[in-house]
Amino acid sequence: MNPLWDYVWPVLSAGLLAGAVGGIVGFRRKRLALPLIVAALLALGAAAVWHGPLGAAGRFSSLVERDSRDALKDLEMTRVTAALHRGPLSRRLILTRPADLALDDFQTNEIARLMGQIPGVSGATWANTDSGLPLVVEGALVALGGFLVGLFLAYLLELHRRYNAQWKW
């Protein structure tokens, strides 16, 4: 499977669940503010806990770096190393080479392009200056997206409930 999907699906599920439950509670009580704020904070908290203490970021980085080492070995570039940008962890792959290894512009650009196609990598570069969006922020955005989808599903459920409530069988 794709390492990024392995990182994202629990966060998306937690956001979806928090949005659905918060929306159902909020729509039933006709007070949306407090249940939605609590549910959104729970979704963001789940994303942060999944990223750090539960070790999803470590598993993600080890899988992506192992795939990049395998790709470099297949390209017969064993002296080139690749690691994800850290501080904070992002999906940007940083490539390094020893000073005595002579590569022309075509080789450096092509290696960066090929490394950028590894699943879970947003891009590859030889410079350590561009870090990209931190992985924890991406996880929080996915959790908020799942929260909004769950909230929309709760809204549709509430519309269905209100529509059926007008009929007195």
Least trusted range by pLDDT, from 41-55, 79-93, 153-167: 153-167
Under 8 Å between Cβ of 91 and 138: yes
Omega before 88 within 30 of 0, i.e. cis: yes
What span, in angstroms and rounded, lies between the C-alpha atoms of 10 and 28? Answer: 27
Q: Which residue has the higher pLDDT, 90 or 107?
A: 90
pLDDT in tens, 49-85: 999 898 888 899 999 999 999 999 998 888 889 999 9
| pLDDT score recorded for residue 15 | 96
pLDDT mean across residues, the chain: 88
Q: Hey, what's the torsion of the CAs at 98, 103, 106, 107, to 10 degrees?
A: -60
pLDDT in tens, 20-46: 999 999 988 878 889 999 999 999 999
| pLDDT score recorded for residue 18 | 95
Q: Which residues contact 126 (CB under 8 A, 6 or more apart)?
A: 94, 95, 96, 97, 108, 112
pLDDT in tens, 132-149: 889 999 999 999 999 999
Q: How far are the Cα atoms of 32, 126, 153 from residue 25, in angstroms, in the given order?
A: 8, 50, 13
Entry pTM = 0.84
Q: Mean pLDDT, to the nearest integer, of 119-127?
A: 89
Single out the residue of 50, 61, 63 nearest to residue 13, CA to CA. Answer: 50
| pLDDT score recorded for residue 1 | 60
